[in-house]
Amino acid sequence: MANETHSEKGPDIPFSLDEYEDRLVPEFRMKDRLAFWDGPIRAFLREHGYVLYSMRSFPEYDVDSLMYPALETPEGPDDDGATYALMDLDSPEREMPDPGDESYLSLRRRSYAREARGRAAFAQSEARPDRHFAIKLVRAESVEIHTIKLIYEASKEKPVRGLIPVIEIIPFRGHWLVVMPRWGENIMLPFPTLVGQVLDSIEDLLEGLGFLHSHNIVHRDHSAKNLVVNHVPVLTYEDLREVPPTRQAARDAGVLRHAI
């Protein structure tokens, strides 16, 4: 992490994080936020070794932007499952789409991502395309960045159990670009079948909460939508209910980790 906290390097930010973040009010301009992530910041992040996902909008489906990996992801799990997620690259029980097909339904069947408020985007390591990241824009002077820096320092030797690790914090025009590994949603799917699997998830989350509470930090929205798991499915949410083989195997093997 660089020492400067208010770097003027990088392209302008065409919106303020103080603006309304309710998509239903007129003041919220998602288009400006998506244009930012699909603009010159791509080159800026590439200088730091990150390749942002490709982006496509589908107005006919009321989808502002669907993000999907720009680089071909090598097969096989990452060698650091404690930090980087298992990517569900292929499903032998499914007919995967033609790589050249960029229709909405086709892209949803890859490791697509969406971010409802436009505060974050997703990327891959240019040197290690099998490593996927979420990159979030955070104000330099905020309570949130204080918490993030604590996790960053604590994660240098090894990840804190139950918390999503912080890989890097990049100063950017009075803000920070916080780089974290991309993990998946819907942490209880597939549903645990053994008591030990339930206890694993509880222990993970209690460890994370314990770290935050030990630093006098209260998580104000500890709900299912803010919890993640170290597995990213290539399938849609609806398909996920049918249990991707890789996630089920990870749960059965006891390597599925849950985090705040």
pLDDT in tens, 184-195: 888 888 888 899
Cβ neighbours around 244 below 10 Å, total: 23
Give the Cα separation of 248 and 140 in Å (integer).
40
Give the Cα separation of 73 and 247 in Å (integer).
18
Cβ neighbours around 105 below 10 Å, total: 11
Give the Cα separation of 206 and 163 in Å (integer).
10
- Looking at residue 237, the DSSP 8-state letter turns out to be H
Q: Is the link from the previous residue into 190 a cis peptide, with omega within 30 of 0? A: yes
pLDDT of the residue at 93: 43
Mean pLDDT of the residues in the chain: 81
pTM of the model: 0.86
- Nearest C-alpha neighbor of 18 from the set 114, 149, 117: 117
pLDDT of the residue at 53: 93
5 pLDDT above the threshold of 80: no
Q: Please indicate whether residue 256 or residue 73 has the higher confidence score (pLDDT).
A: 256
Q: pLDDT band at 229, cuts 50/70/90?
A: very high
CB 120 within 8 A of CB 136: yes
Q: Are strands 228-229 and 258-259 parallel, antiparallel or unpaired?
A: antiparallel
Q: pLDDT band at 43, cuts 50/70/90?
A: very high
pLDDT of the residue at 34: 87
